[in-house]
Structure 1
């Protein structure tokens, strides 16, 4: 009888272990899972179609995540791990543990087990991640201190690569590394199970908007008298590449500098030097707002940056009490960037961004497409639209940006792109603020829209926005 009881117990135990090992239907830990396969975990693709129609939404060839961008030289050493991280503490259990009777809102008992990433379930479907992004990182705002951050990392099998308090986001921003190859969209969905994670986003990649590379015709076309142009003491932040601050055009122009990626050597200085020069340059290559003070944040190398680096630059700019922030770059929509822009605008800062150089059929470019950001497209000496410019309802205003002479790291250059059109608008706005320091960001935006010279179909359109910037008319416009 005792032998039979032992056999029955062994059979029941094996059955129980088999049931416990069965994964939830939304689980996946396939390191080769690309985005279409992620979308099809629950049998439907991003559009809701049956994945069986195309073989399950993926080729099954182990391709890397769609849109993922590997930037080892840019990413690896930006924020090295702390030398001695505190040991993991007991953490909330992000799964329904039927055996223990706990729920996601109940803490694991002290000394309880740390969960393996393969044992996690999601409270929402895996996210479809669009645009370029760092393939082994996510950005998360956390409600809690450093101990909470370490607990989350331990619970979800992640690495803490950087963390800091963000002024514009109003919480702790953490850059988590994914060491085991899980797709970003899956990790974002898994993290949603922990109530301490407020916002969860990919670490998107953004690109500077320079399309090429004759006299600077911008003054005449935006009705700004070069002899009367003045941005004296108006603080303008520029988030861009490093600069050549020995260029004569920038003499006395740079009030302060910040390096948001100190672990990456500076190799390119042209783009940032041109942007600063077009805004406030001095000498033969005088900018739109001579006398303006530039607060320059280096956040790009090789024309690329990531969301966490850009957010650090934005926080620094906000701390400098600037009136204008120029963002001559474009990337995918990212909720963290949207919150930062909204809060910067709430501080009274005028935000100016390049609409993008990716062509008429390109998706909206961000940050330009966020509400409260002035999206600038580029026109040439004949007031024709730059062919490579993005189109869309978010385009706000046009400004010269095709084949203009500007200072660069090599001295001077002929530049083209919505990047440089954005700089022209930032310089023009500095003139408006100098003339009326109490003018609000809302009033400036309304004045630009009301006084722009219509170039396309009557009224605002997707190509030119409200039309060509008219600085003189905008300055005269009343509240």
Structure 2
């Protein structure tokens, strides 16, 4: 069992783990892995095929087949000669990226866990970053993590797409690497079943607490009347072409710090740091990634947040695990959802990490919610069924 600090506050925040019912306050409320797709040669071939088809359409009525072949070869040679190799490679890379986005497909590792791309994530300090470059890795991007005092590096995966095969070289520089796993919201919205409750009917509001709360979730509707007077600092971590979502984050924020006539959240005077990490994805609806979670946790550390609520769950990830441990070492308390995949579910993360407080849901009769996760990693069971909250509009 993990040590519980600030028990009343943790209990209060745990409500964010499961927003089970869509009820209104009459206010507007996935280390080593082989990935399946090897892209470069496929898409070079696709580009050539497109050129060939265009030429055929233009000349097929006027020339014989042998002339068509000559024209096709000449066009391809001219295109390749005119464009520098680096530019060709950049075009192919861009084309690969566009194909992935247009197909809207998530990849998978050998365990069947979803990943957002075939890139690797690595946590490295400046010296390790230089060593990665000297090892010959192709670095896509680097972002300084001020709170963690490290860098989040995205590497282009070698042709093997297998981290375990390259781990010896990474181990030489003491770097942790993993793929960019996908995570989903842990809360479920279901029709009301019985009487709905204000959470402060079950646990009195801690109205006098001046706390620095954190929430890593969807975005929130700052204009919502239950939140319009709240002290909220919103940080948009997810910068995808897909639209942001606000429903779940708005609901959780209202329970935590919301206030209006007839409705009071648990900590209405607290400050809330909200990191928006979720975005709409056609294949799996609302998702976030290990990359975004690492960046969000880093922001919470840099902002000196006391406790952070994470109502999300997914597979183990080495980079996320190291980030979580560093956050705990920096005295950031992380409260996370155990998940709603049922009593036989395998442990989900980040809740199952040792220093994270894992929360499962109970109803007002103190019975465990039928879809709530169980297991030795669970630290807290808290109310999470038929709770009133704001609906985003």
Tell me, yes or no, whether TM beats 0.5. Answer: yes
Q: 1:137 aligns to what?
A: 119
Distance 1:74 1:319 in 2: 37
Alignment of 1:231-246 (within 5 A): 231-246=208-223
Aligned to 2:388, the other structure's residue is in SS state: strand
> Cα distance, 1:187 vs. partner?
3.5
Shift of 1:346: 2.1
How far off is 1:232 after superposition? 4.2
Quote the offset at 1:30 in angstroms.
Answer: 9.7
Q: Structure 1 CA distance, aligned partners of 2:148 and 2:116?
A: 21
Give the conservation status (yes or no) of the 8 Å contact 2:208–2:269.
yes
Change (3 A) 1:253 1:170: same
Does 2:173 align with 1:173?
no
In 1, distance between residues paired with 2:100 and 2:231?
30
Give 5+ residue unaligned stretches, structure 2.
1-32, 39-98, 281-285
Q: Secondary structure at the match of 2:367?
A: coil
Aligned residue for 1:286? 264
Question: Residue 169 of structure 2 aligns to a residue in which SS?
Answer: coil
Cα distance in 1 for residues equivalent to 2:312 and 2:110: 23
Question: How much has 1:203 moved relative to structure 2?
Answer: 1.2
**Alignment pair present for 1:371 and 2:349:** no
Q: Find the aligned partners of 2:134 and 2:119 in 1 and give their Cα distance.
A: 17
Q: Which residue number in structure 2 is paired with residue 189 of structure 1?
A: 165
Paired residue secondary structure (1:248): coil
Alpha-carbon offset, residue 253 of structure 1: 1.8
Q: Show the counterpart of 2:332.
A: 349
The SS at the match of 1:408 is coil
Deviation at 1:255, TM superposition (A): 3.0
* RMSD after superposition: 3.0
- Contact 1:236-1:292 within 8 A present in 2 as well: yes
Q: How does 1:254-273 map to 2 (within 5 A)?
A: 254-273=231-250
Superposed, 1:286-435 pairs within 5 Å as: 286-302=264-280, 303-410=286-393
Name which structure has the greater RCO, CA cutoff 8 Å, separation 6+: 2
Cα distance in 2 between the residues matched to 1:74 and 1:264: 14
User: Cα gap change, 1:142/1:349 in structure 2, threshold over 3 Å: closer, same or farther?
Assistant: closer
Please state whether the residue corresponding to 2:319 is helix, strand or coil: helix
Q: 1:188 deviation in Å? A: 4.2
CA-to-aligned-CA distance 1:353-382 (integer Å, 9 cap, x gap): 111001111110111111221111111122
Larger gyration radius, structure 1 or structure 2: 1
What's the TM-score once normalised by structure 2's chain length? 0.65
Once the 2 structures are TM-superposed, how far is the Cα of residue 230 of structure 1 from its aligned partner? Answer: 1.2
1:72 aligns with 2:101: yes
Secondary structure of the residue that 2:279 maps to in structure 1? coil
- The DSSP-based 3-state class of the residue aligned with 1:203 is strand
Q: Does 2:197 match 1:216?
A: yes
TM-score (norm 1): 0.54
Question: Which ranges in structure 1 are unaligned for 5 or more consecutive residues?
Answer: 1-27, 34-69, 77-126, 411-479
